[in-house]
Structure 1
Amino acid sequence: MTHVVVVGSGIAGLTAALHALDSGCRVTVVTKDALDHANTRYAQGGIAGVMFADDRVEDHVRDTLTAGAGLCDERAVRVLVEEGPARIRELVSLGVAFDRAADGEFVKGLEAAHSYPRILHAGGDATGAVIEHALVARLRSAAVTVHEHAFLVDLVVDGGRVRGVDLLVGDAPGHPGTRETITADAVVLATGGAGELYAHTTNPPVATGDGIAAALRAGAAVADLEFMQFHPTVLAAGDAFLVSEAVRGEGAVLRDETGRRFALDAHPDGELAPRDVVARAIAATMERQDGRPVLLDATTLATDGFLARRFPTIDAAVRARGLDWTREPIPVTPAAHYLMGGVVTDLSGRTTVPGLYAVGEVARTGVHGANRLASNSLLEGAVFGARAGAAIAADAGSALWPVPAGAPGRPASAPCASDEPAFTRAALQDLLWEEAGVVRDRAGLERAAAVLAAWRATPRDPRTETSLEDENLLIVGAHLVAAALARTTSVGAHLRRDAAAWEGAA
């Protein structure tokens, strides 16, 4: 029986695990934290899909391609959109109760850059949490072995093929855990992104790029790491907390500190323009305001308790910070949100290394191009997680490995800096935020590359999870910066101040 290890427990990993189980595989799920503590649980906006009679597959495809700024793989986009409805119906069969109107039909939600209100939500703004709960419940009732609090140290590679995982199990902060190796016929990386590279992020602390770093050490190709999507609206009061795009979809608007609505200056769709457009419009406005946040005005939506009813999670977070968004606008700022690049895969999650698959945010499927369309990420996890899970058993019995076309897996070398600051996680996050954030230029990226090279040349204690995370962040950060240097033009989420008109200069 084919044994597959899935590393990660969000929608992509759990879907891959369940479909591999259905295909006759023996499945082990390894997760860094508790089983239900994945990025998926934080997804507020919803899941996009052609679920209504008056919507069209071609329209969802077009919206996705447009948002991706010409860099999407259309084959992958068509797989996503055409197979998406079946995966959504599968979630419903697993107990996901998407919000419904009085007539029993799904409630339609509109988000930025969609031409049709095709977003489904569950629990108002708790879609990811509801999906995660249902998938975890199904997994726990299945014949799947689960290892929680198990950190991926590295992939086991033998004879050019991935043969298992090397783990650090039960690590307590500042203390070494126990090393353990699990052998397998295949490994699926579903480890999420690398939001911890940045000083401001919507990601949980576990998003430290572990899967991408392990894949690089195994020789896998990566691509598009320069395309980090910055969510435009994250609370700029207290700890970072995402204010869903759906709030703007319902009619909230962005204002500068004088009260002027500025988003329409950047795009005819204003607050509902693609995320990269809105994020850089906010960044430009903040630059003119000496770095002070902009304001999200939802006061027109405050009638009859609508905000608390439609967005209960956000409402609670806003009020916990002493703000009343029914009466006054709230301060927001962009923050690192979703990494659109990652480990290069084909349409079934296969990477360039035999035996290794990648699904979800860790993967570069080609769906997102230079800018992810809102609410396509949960759909991507479900669609490509299912495809990878279904492919593993067949691949294990074949002598052939259809390697996807991909980019080289190594960044350009960079000179060591002579005046770099001492390494800390906070120093790394500040460096990437300043030099490889919403707006970049060659000088800043070269400085970041030099500092990262110097930090990487300094040995770190390999025994603790924190030090291993730091090493992974440095590896992924170096590749991100090298990719941003290599792409000298501006496109999508990658804005080079030195290569294109910059709104901040207007």
Structure 2
Amino acid sequence: MTTPVNDPQAKTPVWEARADLVVIGSGVAGLTAALRAQALGLHVLVVTKAAVADGNTRWAQGGVAVVLENEHDLDDSVAKHAEDTLTAGAGLCDEAAVRSIVDGGPAAVARLRADGAKFDVAASGVLALGREGGHSAFRVIHAGGDATGAEVERALVAQAGQTGVPVLEHHIAVDALLTPGGRVAGVTVLDRHGVPGAVRASAVLVASGGLGQLYQATSNPEIATGDGLALALRAGAAVADVEFVQFHPTVLYTPGARGRCPLVTEAVRGEGATLVDGVGLPVMRGVHPLGDLAPRDVVSAAITRRMATAPGGVGDHVFLDATSVAGFARRFPTVFAACAALGLDPAVDPIPVTPAAHFSCGGVVTTVDGRSSVPGLYAAGEVARTGLHGANRLASNSLLEGLVVGQRVAEAVAADLAAGLLADPARGRLPSRTTAPAAERDSLQRVMSRYAAIGRDADGLAAAGSVLDLSLSDTPLWTHAGVEDAALTVVAQALLAAAVRRTESRGCHVRSDFPGPDEGWRRSQLIRLSPSGQPVLADPIPLEGAA
């Protein structure tokens, strides 16, 4: 499988491997794709920069939004699920993509259950259903109360182990190998000690998750640094909708917290909990017809406004009153444990919460089969922009998307290989560059949190861009930290470029200097890298979408 390459300076690969498909990331999209590709007879290799079970998927609490035959609310339907998704997306969803992915949900969940995933069952014997923000019905299936992601990941990892899917742990993907004609033919990687290698493959699937570490506080794990998005940009792919970063309204507040913060799933609000400020006044009263179950962008913005009107304008949290939720510890064991660690009992104590970076709605522009604009490069999951999410993700659609598109990517790769559309891996050239511009991470996170989070304006976005420009330095791509910092930097630059240009407020993108939506902006912005490596805006995607 591997071939040693003699390089005493260890600046070019010291080993090579070959595969039909290399999957970057071991979350729901990546493992679903890997399992299906192997079943189709492809030689697959999964590359993940942590342990196989340490991706974003395991932290998903709420569940999978899906309308299952004979196991749904009487008034619910797949069509209503699609309509709720379109409403949450604030005019920027690709309607055809939404309907395609939502339609694929029931079959995807059936496959997952066949692979061993166990979901919570109601007293009636059918799957228990929850309701979350933006949903007009109870349609969210869950596992372990609020540990759905952990169960999905467990089932997929177990299935991958049973079927012998090879996994290269603790390796970070750095850059794509490109043929002279610009096709992707593999990737370079680094192990945890900085030893470089290369995986030559006809197809590369980027399924590396999100970019929550752009911000000081996030629900994402430490590995969510936008590496896959940066790799795709450098390979020539287009990205879109990166200005739309969803802030989850309720992560558990602890003073001075940095990095990953415990999530308080909005399913708690689905069971009747309410948001209140420091003097007990409801935060969502009169804000939206769905009240506490309004879409996430609406709730996060309302909390931010309420914090700004606190005495002195320095409020940094509100409270979630869940004292009316019966059996809290049983229904939400993960949240209960996080509260207990702070000495809180949700049965009697209001839970301090604050918004934090949660989900990137944009990413690599792909079809609903995961194909990007670069032959041989595919993307799925949070790193991809299929058109499902638009300007704001509907709660619990992310696991659904990973399951549906992950399966389809494998089938697309098999079809493209059979049709002779992909490159000969032997023709892939190793990247010539060994450095990339990178900002100091703490400075980047502070400036993005201050100027490019929920509330934005032209002056703040310009200030953020200036700080980044002044703090750039050429960083060798010989360590995991170096690759991550370079990725965070180029992703931050792309986000700022798109946010500056979008002079309106829509979905997750809230501009205080342009507080309302503008129908002239009912389109997605494309971003590519210039020859010098700078993110630049390209032609917009028209309303009917590019997915």
- TM-score normalised by L of structure 1: 0.91
1:225 to 242, 263, 269: 242
Give the secondary structure class of the aligned counterpart of 1:265. Answer: coil
Return the letter of the residue paired with 1:161: R
Which of 294, 319, 330 matches 1:295?
Answer: 319
Match of 1:455 among 459, 465, 471: 471
Which portions of structure 1, spanning 4 or more consecutive aligned residues, are displaced by more than 6 angstroms?
Answer: none
SS at match of 1:16: helix
Give the letter aligned to residue 122 of structure 1: A
Match of 1:24 in 2: 41
Between the aligned partners of 2:468 and 2:64, the Cα distance in structure 1 is 36
Please name the residue that 2:538 is paired with.
none
**For the residues of structure 1 that align with 2:321 and 2:152, how far apart are their CA atoms?**
29
Looking at structure 1, the residues matched to 441 and 385 of structure 2 have their Cα atoms a distance apart, in angstroms, of: 26
**Conservation of the 8 A alpha-carbon contact between 2:19 and 2:199:** no
Counterpart in 2 of 1:398? Answer: 419
1:169 aligns with 2:191: yes
Matched to 1:433, the amino acid is S
Provide the secondary structure at the position in 2 that maps to 1:164.
Answer: strand
How many angstroms apart in 1 are the aligned matches of 2:508 and 2:26?
A: 27
2:227 alignment partner in structure 1: 210
Amino acid across the alignment from 1:20: A
Q: Which residue of 2 aligns with 1:101?
A: 122
264-273 or 348-357, larger mean C-alpha shift: 264-273
Instruction: Return the match for 1:475 from 485, 490, 495.
Output: 490
The one-letter code matched in structure 2 to 1:168 is L
Per the alignment, in what secondary structure is the counterpart of residue 185 of structure 1?
A: strand
**Is 1:489 paired with 2:489?**
no
Secondary structure of 1:163's partner?
strand
- Segments of structure 1 that go 5 or more residues without pairing to the other structure are 172-176, 402-415, 417-421
Structure 2 residue matching 1:41: 3-state secondary structure: helix
Match of 1:34 in 2: 51
Output the CA distance in 1 between the equivalents of 2:453 and 2:482: 24
Say yes or no: does 1:384 pair with 2:384. Answer: no
1:454 positional shift = 2.7
The 5 Å alignment of 1:107-506 reads 107-159=128-180, 160-171=182-193, 177-237=194-254, 239=257, 240-289=261-310, 290-301=314-325, 303=326, 306-399=327-420, 423-456=439-472, 458-500=473-515
> Structure 1 CA distance, aligned partners of 2:460 and 2:302?
20
**Structure 1 residue 80 corresponds to structure 2 residue 115:** no
Letter in 2 for 1:477: A
Matched with 2:61 is 44
Aligned to 1:28, what secondary structure does the other structure show? strand
For each residue in 1:370-415, what CA deviation from the matched residue of structure 2 results, as whole angstroms up to 9, or x when unmatched? Answer: 00000000000000011001110110233558xxxxxxxxxxxxxx
Give the SS at the match of 2:474: coil
1:276-313: per-residue Cα shift (whole Å, max 9, x none)? 00000000011111233111100111x4xx01000001
* Matched-pair contact (CA < 8 Å) for 1:2–1:393: no
* Cα distance in 2, alignment partners of residues 230 and 381 from structure 1: 20
Q: Matches of 1:248 and 1:72 in 2, distance apart?
A: 26
Q: Secondary structure at the match of 1:242?
A: coil
**1:90-117 Cα shifts (integer Å, max 9, x gaps):** 1111111100012310011011111110
Q: Write the letter of the residue equivalent to 2:50.
A: D
Secondary structure in 2 matching 1:490 = coil
| Inter-partner Cα distance in structure 2 for 1:84 and 1:263 | 31
Aligned mates of 2:228, 2:316 — CA distance in 1: 35
Contact 1:80 1:383 in 2 (8 A): yes
Check conservation: 2:451, 2:461, Cα contact below 8 A: yes
Q: Distance in 2 between matches of 1:23 and 1:78?
A: 26
Higher deviation after alignment, 289-298 or 63-72: 289-298
RMSD (Å), alpha carbons: 1.6
Aligned 8 A contact 1:164 1:186 in 2: yes
SS of residue matched to 1:231: strand
Take 1:148 and 1:470, find their aligned partners in 2: how far apart are those partners? 20
**Deviation of 1:464 (Å):** 1.5
Q: CA deviation at 1:144?
A: 2.0
CA contact (8 A) 1:2 1:396 kept: no
Counterparts of 2:516 and 2:200, CA distance in 1: 52
Amino acid at match of 1:11: V
Contact kept, 8 Å, 2:48 with 2:169, in 1: the verdict is: yes
Structure 2 spans left out of the alignment, 5+ residues: 1-17, 423-436, 518-547
Q: Using the alignment, how far apart are the partners of 2:164 and 2:20 within structure 1?
A: 13
How far apart are residue 192 of structure 1 and its match? 0.3
Separation (CA, whole Å) in 1 of partners of 2:406 and 2:35: 9
Secondary structure at 2:125 match in 1: coil
In 1, Cα distance between the equivalents of 2:498 and 2:300? 20
Is the contact made by 1:40 and 1:128 (CA closer than 8 Å) also made in structure 2? yes
Paired with 1:116 and 1:102, the residues of 2 have a C-alpha distance of 19
AA in 2 matched with 1:467: G
Q: Which residue of 2 aligns with 1:91?
A: 112
* Cα separation, 1, equivalents of 2:208 and 2:196: 19
**Could you tell me how far apart the structure 1 residues matched to 2:465 and 2:316 are?**
28
Q: How far 1:460 sits from its partner (Å)?
A: 1.9
Could you tell me how far 1:501 is from its partner in structure 2? 5.7
Task: Tell whether the 8 Å contact from 1:197 to 1:477 is kept in structure 2 after alignment.
Answer: yes
Report the residue type matching 1:299 in the other structure.
Answer: T
Structure having the larger proportion of residues in strand: 2
AA aligned opposite 2:25? G
- Match of 1:266, SS state, is coil
Q: What code does the residue aligned with 1:27 have?
A: V
Kept after mapping to 1: 8 A contact 2:504/2:516: no
Between 214-223 and 51-60, report the one with greater CA deviation: 51-60
Deviations 1:412-433 (A, max 9, x none): xxxx9xxxxx953221111001
| Equivalences, count | 474
Q: TM-score, normalised by structure 2?
A: 0.85
